[in-house]
A and B are shown apart, each in its own frame.
Chain A
Amino acid sequence: MMRAPGEMEIVRVEKVVKETATITTIMFSPVYLGRWSSLVPGQFLMIWVPGVDEVPMSLSHIRKQPFRLGITVQDIGEATNSICALKKGDRIGIRGPYGNGFTLPSLEEVDTIMGVSGGVGAASTVLPMEWAHTEGFRTVNLVGARDSGLLLYRGRWESISESVHYSTDDGSFGHHGFVTDLLKNELSEMTVEDRERTMVLTCGPEVMLAEVKKVMDLFDVPGQFSLERFMKCGIGLCDSCSMSGRRVCMDGPVFHGSEVSELKEFGKYQRDRSGKLVPLKECVR
């Protein structure tokens, strides 16, 4: 059925946190609270930087009182560069929340939620993992990045995880290797019964997600993937984020492992700005 249209709201940046040399968190407080009351971790916003661009960004911070939202952005292009350069008091436009978000299973069926985060993908997994912790799940977090300077949210992971393990591609912090190595280790050390009561929530570069998918399939562990595609409208109109007939903005961005199996383009192809199918690159933009 028709949902309430998402009109843009103009807000001022209230706080800027430099997470790493290239990653910045921006905080702001919407005035119109109604649309945020049913916010689900894993949903995204469209962020407008006047005169530059409007891009989708996962919510990484929600503070209840006083109400405040935040996004964590890696500087990888013109739009993200302009977001990372924002200062306190600057005006941006926001609309959303859009997409489906993560869902938590029932505690009767699952007791362990395992977060698998790669690079700035942690911005999408941190809220659902905090949510899982609050709901009483045993939470394990596996967090990877290219180097130690790109590892996000160390304090947040440690305060919500029963155990947290880090990996870096260059070995500058934690395990020297990939976060998928950590996942293999973690799952192989569990009993079959424990694995049957485990669910993975993951976000990161799609090459990593494809590897996470293989490991999950190997151990027959279910999970949810937050995916990214070049996105224009954010509301299911333009089809620019289309993947095998599903729209990442509306049907996703979170897909269950079984759905991901049906996405023929997953891990292989993406669409460029004109809609042409091209081989997957590391980052979508």
Chain B
Amino acid sequence: METPRIDVEIAGIRFPNPFILASGIADETGASMVEAVRMGAGGVVTKSLSLQPREGHRNPCIVELPYGLLNAMGLPNPGIQGYAEEVAEYFRSTKGSNPIIGSVFGSTVEEYALAAGRISDMGVHAIELNGSCPNAKGLGLQFGQDPMVIEDLVREVKDAVKVPVFFKLTPACSNIASLALAAQIGGADGVVAVNTMPAMKIEVRTRRPLLTNVTGGLSGPALRPIGVRCVYEIASSGRIRIPIIGVGGISSWEDALEYMMAGASAVQIGTAVTWGNLAVFGEMTEGLLTFMKEERIRSIQDIVGAARGVE
């Protein structure tokens, strides 16, 4: 049997494999993202960027738990202009072989649109709207829980850029398919599900929340079943025509397949890069290819949504 095809196309963008580096993980610099590609990532998402630089929250901004990782980085970033050299470095080294998606956030719809326009000018292949970061007051999540706002936000950003626009959804909602639908109506070219889940940790001996920001976002293995359910609900709603990118607690090819069988066309990997290392990308590709050969699956696209409609 010839080598199975694992390349995927999302909104007209081709990724050599479906494993994309998630936003906010080991992607502060161009060189770091180049390294992720060298280690086998199919594409990368930049750190979430805003118009102005942000230092983020004071430490502690992460808590390692047995079942996941709690973080409240507070969206630190050097500002879009300060990041230009990182994107340039990425293109110099990769020649654009693997797509780079620019993640942006703002405190108003206008800021989102301006930020998206600026990073789009740097040549990124697509925009990911971080409309669901739980860690910075007035930024992100306030936009991501209201379908009306999502629709408006996506529409404004679509007007500002020519590249595809993806909207990143929060799992902290009562009906994620309705949020995905709002993004679709606004003109989104895809949705990314899911961001981290708002959560907190109290340190009992010192009687205080461990995170300086008090609450943070839960990622890692604990998030995975929630993320899989979210993707499944979006895909099964019968109303969503745009592709879904799955993210949340994926650390192996089996985890990735769960998301893809639920309906995701590709997946993003974050926490596993922290708890393992970038080698996770190569391991996943190798494992996926072996599985596909054993199961005689010719193309990964034949897997997408395989678990739907069989219940």
Contacts from A to B (Cβ < 8 Å):
1-3, 5-8, 10, 46, 48, 50-51, 53-55, 91, 93, 95, 232-240, 242, 244-247, 250, 271-277
Contact = CB atoms under 8 A, between A and B. Distances in A.
Interface of B: 24-29, 31-32, 34-35, 47, 53-56, 58-66, 69, 71, 73, 76-79, 82-83, 85, 203, 205-206, 208, 210, 251, 270-277
Contacts of B277: 236, 250
B208 A236 contact: no
B64 A54 contact: no
Residues of B contacting A: mostly: loop
A10 B206 contact: yes
Contacts of A48: 59-60, 210
A102 to B, nearest CB: 20
Contacts of B71: 233, 237-238
A274 B208 contact: no
B80 to A, nearest CB: 12
A3 B275 contact: yes
Contacts of A1: 276
Nearest to A1: B276
A234 to B, nearest CB: 8
Given A6-B64, A276-B78, A242 B28 contact: yes
A91 B206 contact: yes
Contact of B26 (A10, A54, A234, A247): A247
A7 to B, nearest CB: 6
A239 B29 contact: yes
Nearest to B71: A237
B157 to A, nearest CB: 23
24 contacts: A2-B272, A2-B276, A5-B275, A8-B64, A46-B60, A91-B205, A93-B206, A233-B61, A235-B64, A237-B26, A237-B271, A242-B26, A242-B32, A244-B31, A245-B32, A245-B34, A247-B32, A273-B56, A273-B76, A274-B54, A274-B56, A274-B76, A274-B77, A275-B76
B86 to A, nearest CB: 9
Contacts of A6: 64
A20 to B, nearest CB: 26
B203 A10 contact: yes
Given A2-B276, A274-B55, A239 B63 contact: no
Given A238-B61, A274-B56, 7 more contacts: A8-B64, A93-B210, A236-B26, A239-B29, A242-B26, A272-B78, A274-B55
Contacts of A93: 60, 203, 206, 210
Most buried by A among B47, B59, B60, B73: B59
A209 to B, nearest CB: 20
A238 B272 contact: no
Residues of A contacting B: mostly: loop
Report the 9 A-B pairs with minimum CB-CB distance, sorted nearest first. Answer: A245-B31, A239-B28, A54-B59, A276-B78, A273-B55, A274-B53, A5-B64, A245-B35, A237-B274
B282 to A, nearest CB: 12
B206 A5 contact: no
A272 B29 CA distance: 12
B160 to A, nearest CB: 24
A232 B61 contact: yes
B44 to A, nearest CB: 12
Nearest to A47: B59
Contacts of B73: 232-233, 238
Nearest to B28: A239
A271 to B, nearest CB: 7
A245 B31 CA distance: 4
Contacts of B60: 8, 46, 48, 54, 93
Contact of B64 (A95, A246, A250): A95
B210 A8 contact: yes
Contacts of B76: 232, 238, 240, 273-275
B32 A239 contact: yes
A272 B79 CA distance: 12
Most buried by A among B56, B60, B210: B60
A232 B77 CA distance: 13
Nearest to A263: B31
Given A274-B54, A274-B82, A275-B78, A245 B64 contact: no
Contacts of B35: 245-246
Most buried by B among A238, A242, A271: A238
A237 to B, nearest CB: 4
Contact of B59 (A2, A10, A232, A245): A232
Given A7-B64, A236-B274, A238-B73, A276 B82 contact: yes
Contacts of B64: 5-8, 95, 235
Contacts of A244: 29, 31
A235 to B, nearest CB: 5
A51 B208 contact: yes
A144 B41 CA distance: 44
Given A2-B272, A5-B275, A274-B76, A233 B62 contact: yes
A46 to B, nearest CB: 8
A182 B149 CA distance: 66
Given A6-B64, A237-B25, A274-B55, A50 B208 contact: yes
